Structure 1
Amino acid sequence: MAANRIRVAKDKAELVKALLASKDTTGPFQTFVEVMVFAAALGIKNKKRVPLGETSKREPSPIPQENFASLGHDLIIKLLGMTEIQDINILSSREEEYEDQRTQIFEEYANGGLEILQNELRGAVDYSERLLLVLISERGNKEQSEEEFDLSKFLT
């Protein structure tokens, strides 16, 4: 496994590309990193962890973890790994085994979040608008407990 890169499941590649803002799409995100972090947060919130299966080799190709670090999102990969396996040793950057495990956990939660997004965005013309409605709906659904991850921080 290439621990220094975050992979995208092949069946979610088109969705990930469509979530990027461009002249051809109504995506709300500027980078693949932002898409994957949001998807992972959604997967975590809904406790949905899905193995990748076949991965995308082309766009989006595996995303270097340096891209996550440069945007300040590398800690979510480490914290998610530590939370998931309840072992602080997973934070070790010297052990390839731990890097692989952290990467796999993040990829699987992101894949679970992308699966949720596929269902939520099915038939949507404007992804930004639909995502906003999903976030507002989540916010109003229930009082969040202190242990829940708050997706409303993605509202601008």
Structure 2
Amino acid sequence: MAETGRIRVAKDKADLVKALTSSDGSTGPFQTFADVIVFAAALGAKHKKRVPLGEISKREPSPIPQEQFIVRGYDTVINLLAINETKDINILSFNESNKSEIRNYVFEEYANGGLEILQIEFRGAVDYSERILLFLSSERFQDNYEDEFDLRKFISS
């Protein structure tokens, strides 16, 4: 289970998380590790991709204090993913410490799944910011297209 009070990152995704932040002279599109992890968790949830962490990164980024997520309002995302996954509103209980661990565990696995998707999308990319914009744009148009009436089925080949 998750280390209480901290959000962990899989060791095999640590370099990607670092590359996506704009710290230490890097030009990544995100300001903090927490921003990267929340984006990845949302992406993982959208694609229903939950991946166990395996070996945990001990160094940069080391497990991220949960306070970094709370001050940015990201605890809402953590809670919503946990409710959606468990289908149990009691997962939000603060009286039982294991509920917090379960919430973090679900969040970490969705983030790991999202990071796995990003690893595939970024293969061969030099500029991650540009690649994220292209990726988000294609996702947006793909979603819009699915909502519209598809006239292609009336075209004979």
TM-score normalized with structure 2 length: 0.88
The CA deviation at 1:22 is: 3.9
Question: Could you tell me how far 1:137 is from its partner in structure 2?
Answer: 0.6
Moved over 6 A (4+): none
Distance between the aligned counterparts of 1:34 and 1:81, measured in 2? 18
**Partner residue, 2:108:** 107
Distance 1:120 1:81, change over 3 A: same
Q: CA RMSD in A?
A: 1.6
Residue 63 of structure 2 aligns to which amino acid in structure 1?
P
Amino acid at match of 1:28: P
Indicate the residue corresponding to 1:152 in structure 2: none
* CA separation of 1:58 and 1:140: change in aligned 2, threshold 3 A: same
- State how far apart, in whole Å, the 1-side matches of 2:4 and 2:146 are: 33
Q: Percent identity?
A: 64
- Tell me, which stretches of 5 or more residues in structure 1 are unaligned? 147-156
Q: CA deviation digits over 1:58-98, x for unaligned, max 9?
A: 11000011110111111111111011100011001121111
Residue identity in the other structure for 1:67: Q
1:16 is paired with a residue whose SS is helix
Letter in 2 for 1:140: F
Quick one: which amino acid aligns to residue 120 of structure 1?
Answer: E
Which position in structure 1 is the counterpart of 2:90?
89
Asked if residue 71 in structure 1 is aligned to residue 77 in structure 2, the reply is no
Larger radius of gyration: 2
Separation in 1 of the partners of 2:12 and 2:3? 19
2: CA distance, partners of 1:59 / 1:26 = 17
Written as runs of structure 1 = structure 2, the 5 A alignment for 1:1-156 is: 1-22=2-23, 24-143=25-144
> Which letter maps to 1:40?
A
Post-superposition shift, 1:27? 1.0
2:144 match: secondary structure: coil
Structure 2: runs of 5+ lacking an equivalent: 148-157
Shift of 1:24: 4.2
- Distance in 2 (CA, whole Å) between partners of 1:69 and 1:52 is 22
| In 2: Cα distance, 1:64 partner to 1:104 partner | 14
| Structure 1 position 2, deviation (Å) | 1.4
Q: SS of the counterpart of 2:39?
A: helix
Shift of 1:25: 3.0
